Structure 1
Amino acid sequence: MYKIDLPSEEVPKKWYNINPDLPVEMPMPQNSENESQLENLPKVFSQGVLDQEFSMDRYIKIPKEVREIYMRIGRPTPLYRAKGLEEKLSTPAKIYYKREDTSPTGSHKLNSAIAQAYYAKKEGVELLTTETGAGQWGTALSLACSMMDMDCRIYMVRVSYDQKPFRKSIMEIYDGEVHASPSKSTEYGRKILEKDPDTPGSLGIAISEAMEDALKDEKTKYSLGSVLNHVMLHQTVIGQELKKQLEIAEEEPDVFIGCVGGGSNFAGSAYPLIKDKLDGKSDCQFIGVEPSSCPTLTKGEYKYDFGDTNGFTPLLKMFTLGHDFIAPSVHAGGLRYHGMSPQISLLVNEGIIEPRSASQKEIFESGTLFAKSEGVVPAPETNHALKVAIDEAKKCKETGEEKTIVVNFSGHGLLDLKGYAGYLENNLE
């Protein structure tokens, strides 16, 4: 089988919550000294997602309205076999990729954007404010808010704002209001610009700006595209579909690979498979791949830190490079984050997930090879997963092992061509 589709009715009816199945208890968020960030959470987030954030229910029902929109935007997404890539590599391995790039906005991000906009709308929220790195999350939330007849304000990390101007155009088509971050629209943005007018910005700064808006207006809530438990939860529609598709293909995954920045696409596709491993039903290897220029899991510390730069968020137990970290201006903007999902951090710390890193030049090399083999141009973020998938397939060629390698193809790269041009012209940093 080269392509495995599921009918619309197979869209999952519940999200999977990994919290009750974690091998050790999840460390809870904390206030910093003399501050009360936890008390601000209801001011910032809708109650619907806050309830999910701390839930210990293994499965949480997907509202009918959300599930219907999932079907409208093309869920379930297809699973493809990368036969062309296998032949290019002359490997005995079988490589499958779950195509989240087929969504209207080109990535997996809509799965959570729709849910978060739905819960906010139910509570009478008029404006959702957020951050975005490469623009996939800002694009998804803009569309979700448009569907729910709400306003959306996006703080886009300055370097990505400059690198990817057509991302801004798409957000504006969906009526999103886009600001380069740090901006002059917030107190915190102005403070950062006073210190360093030429800063490339960071996701931590953009989060601070978006949260400042939410704290100032009771009709405004903040929406996060990754990191927190409820975002991981919403994305598990991917992994639940994937399990059914692998069963149809009569495949047991030996290696699962996804890119990791804040963790949402990896968690959503891997958690239902990880449950099988935690239950003793699978021996699959799970690999999360990050940029070597932003090595949160491979070189960061597992400790409590803020999710944003200004300290609006509670302290989260996670792998972190420090909340003041400013990543180099690589093209994988969705992976330039100082921290990591607390759930994924715990699973890495417990040895369930293996972290790896890859450089910018080698990920574009892998993405170009994939495009020539399969015809699909991957996002720079997705290229990190593909790079390691290619490495693993080459190992199989050396050993003769017929492993089944599964990749979450988190997004397309058709709005990331400046990065590809830099690779083809041999002028990437």
Structure 2
Amino acid sequence: MSARLPTRWRGVLPYLSEPMPPDLTPESTGRTEVGVNLPMELVRQSVLEREYWPIPDEVATAYRGYRPTPLWRATGFERAIGARVPVYVKYEGGNISGSHKLNTALAQAHYYRRAGVKELVTGTGAGQWGTAMAAACALFGLRCRVFMVESSLRRKPYRGTLMRMLGAEVHSSPSGLTEVSGRHRDGTGNSLSLAIGEAVEYAATHDGVAFCIGSGETYSILHQSVIGLEAQEQLAGLEAEVDAVVGCVGAGSNFGGIALPFLAEERAGGAASPTLVAAESTTAPKLTRGVYAYDKTDATGSGPLEAMYTIGSDYPIPDAHSAGLRFHGAAKLISALRHEGDVAATAVSQPEALSAGQLLTKNEAVLPAPESGHALAAAARLATTGAADGERQLRAERGVLVCVSGHGFLDLGAYEQMLDGALDDEAPAEQALLGAVSGLTPIREPAGLAAGLAAGGSR
């Protein structure tokens, strides 16, 4: 089902139950701090309680190359899982980056170029964000540099090749090019926090260069609202309604993009919001087993501390194919909504996620990224058992909307391991999580973490 390209992004800041806790300096002095070299329009999009923001003409022109993206009822997937309600798929994989990340990369490149920046540098896990940023920089005439998690780049070397095709300089992280990589060179090469930290340090030490981030910031979630806005129109065209909206969560941009326009519609006086379900990896279970506390966003610790659900920025997250979900914390906006009870969450193992991905491949002829497999597995649970987070039952006449945030053509190594029976999964131990967050400043009482960890799952 097609839709019109939205002309405005839609935010939820006017509709929060409580204001988000302010960012703190690393010294926790209580002062709010703005990121270095951040264009003022992105600052405004992060702090102003304004619902609609016009999409700049040159960004809209770039969007028209691949948007609107398709939405369909996945009847083959429904049959395969034994669904009792319809499942609708919103697919974001049909662009050069292979994921939803291009929606904010294009917007950010536009604003940074307008602010006079010559080069953008970033960190990436699975590579979708790095590819999106490389493509956006190429389109808007900016240089691009990407630090990619070593284990991901080793598994998916063609991600690096694609970024280089687009003109980007690509470094395996830890790279040895930055001081922070020297301090954290433990041989694992498995830290998205470190890759981001390397990008932060590089930008801070080079003129005309700015660091950009693809998922956790409030403005990037705003830019992703095109996903949910299109989905609302497409569902209306099908005369369909849903009781749940599902997206996977690394930091939270594609989940926020698909889900938060439904929350905004409810708060603005429209129809009741569906249950908004964030599906995360059991290897990085911040929303289901983490603590709501102030934590670092990267390994340098030089930026402001943000209020987030976190398992600790220094926690050594186990290796997994879903690199885009392998981040220690959730976006402060998603975390605040979780804290207020507006967002439900569930954790999905790697084998369950890739099995769900295989079912979509066999029955809908769409190969999802492993990250999106987590959302599909959560949607399958909802469509078959009708429960999310042990909370609310779905009504039989309505369905589930799931965002498939990217394709898996460069992730076939993960699927090969699954088919060969060689796929495993490593969930964090309770005591390891407690140790990783013990030095953080909690926003909830510390007992809340212990209770959540003791439960061993969603809360």
TM-score after normalising by structure 1: 0.94
**Partner of residue 241, structure 1:** 230
Aligned to 1:64: 57
**Over aligned residues, Cα RMSD in angstroms?**
1.9
2:17 alignment partner in structure 1: 23
The alignment status of 1:185 with 2:172, answered yes or no, reads no
Give the superposition deviation at 1:190: 2.0
Does the 8 A contact of 2:263 with 2:273 survive in 1?
A: no
In the TM superposition, what is the alpha-carbon distance from 1:36 to its structure 2 partner?
10
- The answer to whether residue 129 in structure 2 is matched with residue 134 in structure 1 is no
- Give a deviation string over 1:312-371, Cα, whole Å, max 9, x none: 220101101111122111000000000111111111111111110011111111111111
Q: Using the alignment, how far apart are the partners of 2:143 and 2:367 within structure 1?
A: 31
Decide whether aligned partners of structure 1 residues 190 and 318 sit closer, same or farther in structure 2, where only a CA change above 3 A counts.
Answer: same
Residue of structure 2 aligned with 1:124, choices 110, 113, 116: 116
2:43 is aligned to 50
AA aligned to 1:71 is: R
Shift of 1:35: 7.8
Displacement after TM superposition at 1:165 (Å)? 0.9
Amino acid at match of 1:212: E
Number of the residue aligned with 1:113: 105
1:160 aligns with 2:157: no
1:179 partner SS: strand
For residues 369 and 289 of structure 1, the distance between their equivalents in structure 2, rounded to whole angstroms, comes to 18
- Provide the C-alpha distance between the structure 1 equivalents of 2:407 and 2:323, rounded to a whole number of angstroms: 14
In 2, Cα distance between equivalents of 1:410 and 1:232? 13
Contact 2:14 2:51 in 1 (8 A): yes
C-alpha deviations, 1:240-286, integer Å up to 9, x for none? 11111111111121111110110000001111111233346214111
Which amino acid is 1:109 matched to? K
1:428 counterpart = 2:423: yes
3-state SS of paired residue (2:397): coil
Say if 1:200 and 1:404 are closer, same or farther in 2 by CA, change over 3 A: same
Residue of structure 1 aligned with 2:240, choices 245, 251, 261: 251
Q: Distance in 2 between matches of 1:40 and 1:401?
A: 47
Instruction: Name the residue aligned to 2:299.
Output: 309
Structure 2-normalised TM-score? 0.88
Partners of 1:222 and 1:96 lie apart in 2 by 36
Deviation of 1:40 (Å): 6.3
**Contact map agreement 1:259 1:381 (CA 8 A) in 2:** yes
Which of 1, 5, 22 is the equivalent residue of 2:2? 5
What is the percentage of aligned positions where both structures have the same residue?
39
Structure 2: how far apart are the matches of 1:138 and 1:399?
Answer: 37
Residues 23 and 33 in structure 2, CA contact (< 8 A), matched pair in contact too: no
Give the equivalent residue in structure 2 for 1:413: 408
- Give CA-to-partner distance per residue, 1:184-242, whole Å, 9 cap, x none: 1111112222xx2x122311111111111111123001110111101101111111111
**Structure 1 residue ranges, 4+ long, deviating more than 4 angstroms after superposition:** 34-40, 396-400
1:329 aligns with 2:319: yes
Larger mean CA deviation between 80-89 and 405-414 belongs to: 80-89
> Does 2:247 align with 1:266?
no
Following superposition, the deviation at residue 58 of structure 1 comes to 1.2
The answer to whether the 8 A contact 1:37-1:314 is kept is: no
Structure 2 residues not aligned, in runs of 5+:
388-392, 425-459
Note if contact 1:289-1:356 (Cα within 8 Å) is conserved in structure 2. Answer: yes
CA distance in 2, matches of 1:82, 1:103: 21
Bigger shift: 181-190 or 405-414? 181-190
SS at match of 1:102: coil
Whether the 8 Å CA contact 1:92–1:402 is kept in 2: the answer is: no
Kept in 2, the 8 Å contact 1:29–1:315? The answer is yes
Instruction: State the one-letter code of the partner of 2:155.
Output: Q
Residue in structure 2 matched with residue 352 of structure 1 by the alignment: 342
Cα separation, 2, equivalents of 1:177 and 1:319: 32
Deviation at 1:39, TM superposition (A): 5.2
How far does the alpha carbon of each residue in 1:395-423 deviate from its partner, in whole angstroms, 9 at most, with x for none?
Answer: 25999933311001100101000100000
Give yes or no for contact 1:44–1:215 (8 Å, CA) kept in 2.
Answer: no
* CA spacing shift, 1:343–1:40, aligned 2, 3 Å: closer
Unaligned runs of 5+ in 1: none
| TM-superposed deviation, 1:34 | 7.3
Alignment partners' CA distance in 1, 2:82 and 2:295: 45
Work out whether 1:169 is the aligned partner of 2:161. Answer: yes
- Report the count of equivalent residues: 418
Task: Please state whether the residue corresponding to 1:170 is helix, strand or coil.
Answer: helix
| 2:80 equivalent to 1:88 | yes
Question: CA separation in 2, counterparts of 1:287 and 1:126?
Answer: 39
TM-superposition CA deviations, 1:59-105 (whole Å, max 9, x none): 11111111111102x11111111011122234331110111011222
The code of the aligned residue for 1:11 comes to L
What residue identity is the alignment partner of 1:205?
A: L
Distance 2:207 2:29 in 1: 21
Equivalent pair of 1:92/1:403 in contact (CA under 8 Å): no
1:420 to 1:427, Cα distance in 2 relative to 1, 3 A:
same
Counterpart of 2:137 (choices 131, 136, 145) is 145
What are the within-5 Å matches in structure 2 for residues 260-299 of structure 1? 260-279=249-268, 281-299=271-289
CA gap of 1:349–1:311, structure 2 versus 1, over 3 A, is same
Match for residue 329 of structure 2 among 339, 345, 360: 339
Aligned to 1:221: 210
- Whether the aligned pair in 2 keeps the contact of 1:290 and 1:357 (CA below 8 Å) is yes
